[in-house]
Amino acid sequence: MEELLIVAGAHILAVASPGPDLALVLKNALSGNKKVGIYTALGIALGILVHVLYSVVGLALVISQSIVLFNIIKLVGAGYLIWIGVKSLMSSKGPVTASTQVTTKSISTKEAIKQGFLTNVLNPKATLFFLSLYTQVISPNTSASLKLLYGAEMVTATFIWFTLVAIFMTRKPVQAVYEKIKHRIDQAFGVALIALGLKVALDNK
């Protein structure tokens, strides 16, 4: 129980901290709707599941020790964040009309899940976090089934946290403010995602 509480606490702090996952949920929830935001949260949770599975079987250590493999993941992840950021900037151009509103709200649930999944699973910081968690915090004597249980808790907590974020951001008062400055917010998220992508690509730590 003590180990579970430590794992859960460390994970909540990591999930709640600003980063690519939070930026994506905020962007999709605001520019889309509650459903899009929740499906983005589901994609992120599925990404967490991937990290858990390869950590349990020991692949996280292999990835962290292989400079080439880790850099490939880092650069692909950075490129994906920059690509989403550029798309956000492009969609923010032009006057606000009924047609442009339909376009910005037409993201499918499948696309929302894909964006959330790829943003999380390609985040090298997440790889290092789970490596540290499963090698430094969780005891080597902990059974694989218990490690998977910890993982299930983290997947569930991730989904609940980002779902709550999506629900809050799609409340009517928040949406009313968003509609007034929509393009500027879209541009801000685009710039933020590009900046995060560049930070990931250039980070040598």
pTM of this prediction? 0.72
d(CA 180, CA 96): 10
pLDDT in tens, 4-52: 888 788 888 778 777 888 889 988 888 778 899 999 999 999 999 998 8
d(CA 45, CA 161): 10
pLDDT in tens, 42-79: 999 999 999 888 888 776 666 666 777 777 777 776 78
d(CA 121, CA 129): 12
